[in-house]
């Protein structure tokens, strides 16, 4: 057991440095153990049960030397873990943050909802709700296990919110503001309620079917009247529950359609449910005729399942509006009052100066005023290699600083940044997508009106010719057997199966309209295949393609050794290519420094190695003569990045790096071209690199677009759509998000940014373009199967309607035949799609 001196805290915190200095440190992780978790007299102390379990497991496996090795590390490499968490949560004390996320209560108390990571079971709930014991000043903590949201009530005069958050973090549950998830939580709540309706409808359907089997068997083998009456009344009760609660959705939908003078599939469904339910109720009360509650309950259950799946799809689409939060930090260091203080984004305004450390994302748009570095803008612009930046350069939120720390004068923050506008365009593109008008809707609209008119005619004709009771029976039989559930389910059932087939091939289809849109493209009706380059056609990572100059193995090993701790993509590529521990007499470098101007200096006794770009060499007074320029020209013309290698102020070699083409890209674009797709490359990368890829794919020059901003990609997609062509956009970066949303079909590829995946209509978990070929083929096959099923169900219903109108079907026979049409459609879809092997011509 040891003591731990805590890092300095802001003056707003009520706990003094003297009190913190004597806190007991956890014997596993070294963080302070809260007072409420300290065990008096125990030899070991732990900040949470997780640390205690890990400590016992390590010692139980005779691995206790781990702690000896850890404690032997230099002081500057020990124990910094608590500081980042502490620094992160100091933003929670800012008035702007509290105004946005917390609510004042009576007696000066405050309340906030925090979403916690790592909550899995009731034990987590128990631990979090003991927070008042661990952190004095917390009045109450209540955790919802389902939503993983903790409602914290605290006294700000006794404890700062940052201390509360840090205490929760130390328990193993990093907290985040829950406000941004409120809308999504509401949508999930709606899904939960719909799922309850589906469950109730399923229970009613299953039990009424069992009762129906008993009643039908009674007609054959005989059944006592009292038992038959009892089963009929129980069936009535279950049917009433199903129709009055889960089935009420269809009655409301039918009424809404009538109020807007629009005939929907809900209208004949509501008529069948209503007339069948009323007729069944009268038959039960009067003790005669048939009851239809088994068929009605099954119909309600099947249709509600379809509604639930539709709600889930819509929720995934609307989640796109929260994309920006995953691409920018919640706060950063701001120069205020002569010192750097951590503030949330809500407290930053244009004109402030912020500091962005190495390997962090930029939180604002602005201009560099101090420092030189490199930023990775691949997710925003598509540029495959980091860009060197210095004083006076403009930078944008969402880019990642991969070099030295920089200071930025803020020009835009939050919703005013370029990233925010890009995300708004993407979300607007998703919302503006028109709902596809399927062939089923067009047929069902006409069929619905015809069925209603025909049912009224059948009722009137049989009433005039025979009487009221036969007229009711024949009209009910017609409405039941003609209920367009098969017609309405033919499309969603087949599409659901098509989505399942795609999922088994690691292709997630989020919008079922993808199938019909892709199926429209044929050799005589061409479409445009718009392709991002970096990460889509290429691997999205730099690889060494050539070493030109002194090819001494020791020099190459020195290059790899100098980049052993590199985080820069270029440095990682050099390390992977040349790092070698087996070279004899390899003398390690004693001093390695990364230069923000785009290079690295490695020194040892008697030797200095410099690695970097031409700008870096010029800064160190090294001149690249014509001999080297001539040797480098062919590589630069093909879009390669060059890293120069200088030993003791003399250039010894240069390394060419390229983003290599994926193996399947040429074959995939050729296969798609045969199916009617004309390829176009839309890239933010430099022109030579894009042209090199276009040459490999034989893409026509007029369809090759380089150095594009994200807005330019969107405009090009819209331009390609103007003649009425279907545009399939394939990309992976944030810079592709708006273009993915603007295209008829947006497809995000493996490894893509969260923004691209959220707004895309489909996502493939496999790299390359081969999944695109498979999705196009599956779409054509699925749509052809949908049309076949529609005609089968339409023919089935038309035949059944004719028989019912002629009086050849009784209501109970109609109740048996009605679900058979749905089963027929489902069987055809399952049998055909289960045999699909990846070719549109597969039988």
Q: What is the CATH number of the domain that holds 111?
A: 3.30.70.100
Q: Within a domain: residue 206? A: yes
- Encode 624-671 in three state secondary structure: CCHHHHHHHHHHHHCCCEEEEEEECCEEEEEEEEEEEECCCHHHHHHH
User: Please, are residues 825 and 486 in contact by the beta-carbon 8 Å criterion?
Assistant: yes
Bridge partners (DSSP) listed for residue 140: 153
Same domain, 533 and 666: yes
Q: How many CA atoms lie within 13 A of 339 on its CB side?
A: 3
Same domain, 320 and 333: no
64 C-beta neighbours (distance < 10 Å), count: 11
Which residues, in sequence order, are bridge partners of residue 310?
none
3-class secondary structure, 364: strand
- Residue 549 counted as domain residue: no
Ramachandran angles phi, psi of 465, nearest 5°: -90, -40
Reported as a single tens digit per residue, the pLDDT across 172-205 is 677 887 754 454 554 566 678 888 988 999 999 8
β-pair type (745-748, 727-731): parallel
Q: How high is the mean pLDDT of the chain?
A: 76
Q: Is the pLDDT of residue 4 over 50?
A: no
Q: Does 210 score more than 60 pLDDT? A: yes
Average pLDDT over residues 395-402: 84
User: H helices of 319-407, where?
Assistant: 378-381
**β-pairing verdict for 331-336 and 339-344:** antiparallel
pLDDT in tens, 468-481: 767 877 877 787 67
68 and 96 belong to one structural domain:
no
Asked whether residue 195 falls in the same domain as residue 320, the answer is yes
**pLDDT value at residue 282:** 85
pTM: 0.52
Q: What is the DSSP letter of 108?
A: G
Cα 252 to chain centroid distance, Å, stands at: 33
Same domain, 734 and 759: yes
Rounded to an integer, the average pLDDT of 697-716 is: 86
**Lateral strand order in the sheet of 641-647:** 538-549, 650-661, 641-647, 607-612, 599-604, 591-595
Q: Token pair of 665, please?
A: 């890209």
CATH of the domain at 350: 2.70.150.10
Does 305 or 656 have the greater pLDDT score? 656
Any domain includes 783: no
The predicted structure's pLDDT at residue 86: 47
CA dihedral sign, ordered 697, 698, 703, 704? positive
What's the whole-number mean pLDDT along residues 799-821? 74
Instruction: Summarize pLDDT for 112-137 with one digit per residue, the tens.
Output: 888 787 665 555 676 687 788 778 89
Q: How many CA atoms lie within 13 A of 681 on its CB side?
A: 33
Joined tokens for residue 488: 């309405």
Q: Which of 610, 555, 565, 551 is nearest to 586 (CA)?
A: 555
Domain match, 74 and 95 both: no
Distance CA 653, CA 556 (A): 10
Decide: 716 and 703 in contact? Cβ < 8 Å: no
| pLDDT tens figures, 18-41 | 333 346 777 777 777 766 667 777
Own/partner contacts of 350-353, CB < 8 Å, gap of 24 or more, are: 350/410, 350/411, 350/412, 350/413, 351/409, 351/410, 352/409, 352/410, 353/407, 353/408, 353/409, 353/410
Place of tokens 């150095």: 707
**Residue with structure tokens 């040797």?**
631
Angstrom distance (rounded) from CA 684 to CA 384: 8
Q: b/e for 614-626, b at 16 or more Cβ within 10 A? A: bebbeeeebebee
For Cα atoms 577, 581, 582, give the angle at the middle one, nearest 5 degrees.
105
In terms of domains, do 196 and 317 share one? yes
pLDDT for 17: 34
Residues facing residue 370 across a β-bridge:
407
Percent of the chain's residues with pLDDT above 90: 10
For 665, counting Cβ atoms within 10 Å of its Cβ (0-12 exposed, 13-18 middle, 19+ buried), the class is buried
pLDDT-derived band at 352 (thresholds 50, 70, 90) equals very high
% of the chain with per-residue pLDDT over 70: 74
The reported pLDDT for the residue numbered 677 is 92
Structure tokens at 491: 């499309």
Helices and strands counted in the chain (H then E): 30, 29
Of 333-347, 618-632, 800-814, minimum mean pLDDT range? 800-814
CB atoms within 10 A of CB 377: 24
Q: The domain spanning residue 723 has which CATH number? A: 3.40.50.1000
161 and 85 Cβ atoms separated by less than 8 Å: no
Sheet holding 387-389, edge to edge: 387-389, 373-376, 400-401
Same domain, 65 and 163: no
Mean pLDDT of 499-503: 78
Tell me the C-alpha to C-alpha distance, in Å, between residue 321 and each of 184, 648, 758, 812.
10, 54, 9, 50
3-state SS, 742-768, equals HCCEEEECCCCCHHHHHHCCEEECCCC
Q: What angle do CA 394, 400, 404 make, to 5 degrees?
A: 80
- For residue 331, the cross-strand partners are 344
- pLDDT confidence bin for 700, thresholds 50/70/90: confident
Tell me the C-alpha to C-alpha distance, in Å, between residue 57 and each of 47, 54, 63, 65: 16, 5, 9, 13
Question: What pLDDT is stored for residue 613 in this prediction?
Answer: 84
Q: Give me the number of domains the chain comprises.
A: 5
Indicate the pLDDT class of residue 440, thresholds 50, 70 and 90.
low
Q: What's the pLDDT band for 728 if we cut at 50, 70, 90?
A: very high
Look at residues 372, 396, 416 and tell me which one is the last residue of a structural domain: 416
More confident residue, 580 or 744: 744
Give Cα 165 distance to the centre of its chain. 27
| Same structural domain, 73 and 92 | no
Label residues 411-433 b or e (16+ Cβ within 10 Å = b). Answer: bbbbeebbbbbbbebbbebbeeb
Task: Provide the domain limits for residue 28.
Answer: 2-80
Beta bridge partners of 603: 591, 608
- Axis crossing angle, helix 553-562 with helix 569-578, rounded to the nearest 10: 140
pLDDT for 436: 35
CA 66, CA 27: separation in Å to the nearest integer?
Answer: 12
- 510 domain-assigned: yes
Quote the pLDDT of residue 64: 62
498-505: long-range pairs with CB below 8 Å, 24+? 498/778, 498/779, 498/782, 498/833, 500/833, 501/778, 501/833, 501/836, 502/762, 502/774, 502/775, 502/778, 505/766, 505/771, 505/774
Q: How confident is the model at residue 378 (pLDDT cuts 50, 70, 90)?
A: low
What's the confidence (pLDDT) of residue 655?
92
Q: Assess if residue 789 is contained within a domain.
A: no
Residue 123, pLDDT score: 52
Q: What is the pLDDT of residue 9?
A: 35
Residues 760 and 672 placed together within one structural domain of the fold: yes
Q: Quick one: average pLDDT of 835-843? A: 55
CB 360 within 8 A of CB 373: no
Radius of gyration of the chain (CA): 34
pLDDT in the model for residue 815: 58
How far apart, in Å, are the Cα atoms of 176 and each of 483, 741, 774? 50, 29, 40
User: Is residue 479 a contact partner of residue 817, using CB atoms and an 8 Å limit?
Assistant: no
- Asked if residue 194 and residue 320 are part of one domain, the reply reads yes
Pair (668, 721) in one structural domain: yes
Instruction: Please give the span between the terminal C-alpha atoms of the chain, in angstroms, as a whole number.
Output: 72
Q: Region 324-351: what's the mean pLDDT? A: 80
Query: Domain boundary at 381, 416, 451, which?
Result: 416
Is 25 inside any structural domain?
yes
* In-domain check, residue 343: yes
Out of 777, 803, 826, a domain closes at: 777
The reply to whether 793 falls in a domain is no
* pLDDT of residue 104 exceeding 50: yes
């Amino acid at each position: 057991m040891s003591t731990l001196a805590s890092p300095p805290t802001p003056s707003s915190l009520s706990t003094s440095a003297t009190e913190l200095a004597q806190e007991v440190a956890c014997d596993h992780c070294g963080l302070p153990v809260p007072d409420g978790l300290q065990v008096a007299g125990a030899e070991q102390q732990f900040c949470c049960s997780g640390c205690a379990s890990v400590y016992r497991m390590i010692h139980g496996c005779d691995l206790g030397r781990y702690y000896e090795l850890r404690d032997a590390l230099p002081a500057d490499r020990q124990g910094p873990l608590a500081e980042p968490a502490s620094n992160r949560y100091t933003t929670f004390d800012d008035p702007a943050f509290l105004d946005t996320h917390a609510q004042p209560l009576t007696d000066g108390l405050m309340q906030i909802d925090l979403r916690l990571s790592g909550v899995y079971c009731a034990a987590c709930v128990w631990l979090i709700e003991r927070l008042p014991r661990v952190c004095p000043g917390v009045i109450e903590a209540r955790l919802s296990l389902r939503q993983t949201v903790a409602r914290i009530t605290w006294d700000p005069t006794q404890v700062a919110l940052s201390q509360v958050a840090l205490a929760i973090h130390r328990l193993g549950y990093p907290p985040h503001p829950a406000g941004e998830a409120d809308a999504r939580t509401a949508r999930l709540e709606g899904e939960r309620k719909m799922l309850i309706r589906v469950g109730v409808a399923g229970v009613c359907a299953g039990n009424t079917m069992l009762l129906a089997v008993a009643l039908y068997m009674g007609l054959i083998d005989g059944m006592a009247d009292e038992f038959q009456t009892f089963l009929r009344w129980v069936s009535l009760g279950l049917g009433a529950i199903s129709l009055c609660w889960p089935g009420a959705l269809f009655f409301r939908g039918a009424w809404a359609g009538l109020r807007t003078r629009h005939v929907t599939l809900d209208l004949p469904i509501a008529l069948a449910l209503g007339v069948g339910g009323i007729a069944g109720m009268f038959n039960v009360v009067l003790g005669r005729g048939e009851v239809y509650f088994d068929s009605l309950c099954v119909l309600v259950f099947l249709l509600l399942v379809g509604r639930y799946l539709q709600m889930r799809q819509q929720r995934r689409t609307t989640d796109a509006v929260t994309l920006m939060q995953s691409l920018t930090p919640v706060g950063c260091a701001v120069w205020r009052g002569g010192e750097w203080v951590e503030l949330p984004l809500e407290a930053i305004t244009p004109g402030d100066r912020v500091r962005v450390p190495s390997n962090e994302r930029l939180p604002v748009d602005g201009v560099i005023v101090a420092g030189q570095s490199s930023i990775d803008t691949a997710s925003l612009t598509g540029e495959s290699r980091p860009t060197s930046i210095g004083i006076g350069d403009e930078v944008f939120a969402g880019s990642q600083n991969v070099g030295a720390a920089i200071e930025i004068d803020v020009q835009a923050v939050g919703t005013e940044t370029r990233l925010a506008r890009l995300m708004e365009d993407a979300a607007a593109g998703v919302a503006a997508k028109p709902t596809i008008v399927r062939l089923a809707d067009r047929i069902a609209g006409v069929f619905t009106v015809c069925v209603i008119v025909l049912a009224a005619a059948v009722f009137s004709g049989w009433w005039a010719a025979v009487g009221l009771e036969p007229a009711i029976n024949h009209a009910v039989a017609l409405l039941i057997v003609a209920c367009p559930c098969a017609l309405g389910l033919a499309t969603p059932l087949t599409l659901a199966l098509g989505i399942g087939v795609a999922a088994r091939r690691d292709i997630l289809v989020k919008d079922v309209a993808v199938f019909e849109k892709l199926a429209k493209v044929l050799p005589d009706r061409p479409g445009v295949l718009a392709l991002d380059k970096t990460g889509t056609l290429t691997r999205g990572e730099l690889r060494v393609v050539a070493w030109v100059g002194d090819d001494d193995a020791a020099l190459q090993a020195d290059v790899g050794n100098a980049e052993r701790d590199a985080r820069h993509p270029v440095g990682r590529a050099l390390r992977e290519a040349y790092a070698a521990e087996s070279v004899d007499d390899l003398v390690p470098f004693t001093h390695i420094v990364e230069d923000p101007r785009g290079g690295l200096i490695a020194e040892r006794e008697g030797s200095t190695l410099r690695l970097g770009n031409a700008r870096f060499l010029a800064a160190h007074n090294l001149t690249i003569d014509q001999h080297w320029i001539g040797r480098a020209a062919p590589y630069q013309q093909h879009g390669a990045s060059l890293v120069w290698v200088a030993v003791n102020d003399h250039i010894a070699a240069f390394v060419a790096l390229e983003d290599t083409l994926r193996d399947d890209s040429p074959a995939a674009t050729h296969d798609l071209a045969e199916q009617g797709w004309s390829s176009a490359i839309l890239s933010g990368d430099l022109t030579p690199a894009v042209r090199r890829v276009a040459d490999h794919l034989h893409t026509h020059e007029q369809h090759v677009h380089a150095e594009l901003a994200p807005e330019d990609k969107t405009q090009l997609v819209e331009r390609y759509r103007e003649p009425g062509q279907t545009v399939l956009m394939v990309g992976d970066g944030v810079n592709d998000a708006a273009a993915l949303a603007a295209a008829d079909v947006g497809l995000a590829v493996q490894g893509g940014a969260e923004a691209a995946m959220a707004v895309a209509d489909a996502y493939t978990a496999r790299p390359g373009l081969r999944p695109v070929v498979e999705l196009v083929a599956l779409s054509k096959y699925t749509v052809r199967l949908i049309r076949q099923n529609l005609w089968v169900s339409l023919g089935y219903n038309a035949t059944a309607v004719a028989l019912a109108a002629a009086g050849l079907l009784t209501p109970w026979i109609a109740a048996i035949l009605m679900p058979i049409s749905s089963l027929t459609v489902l069987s055809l879809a399952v049998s055909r799609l289960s045999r699909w092997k990846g070719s549109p011509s597969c039988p």
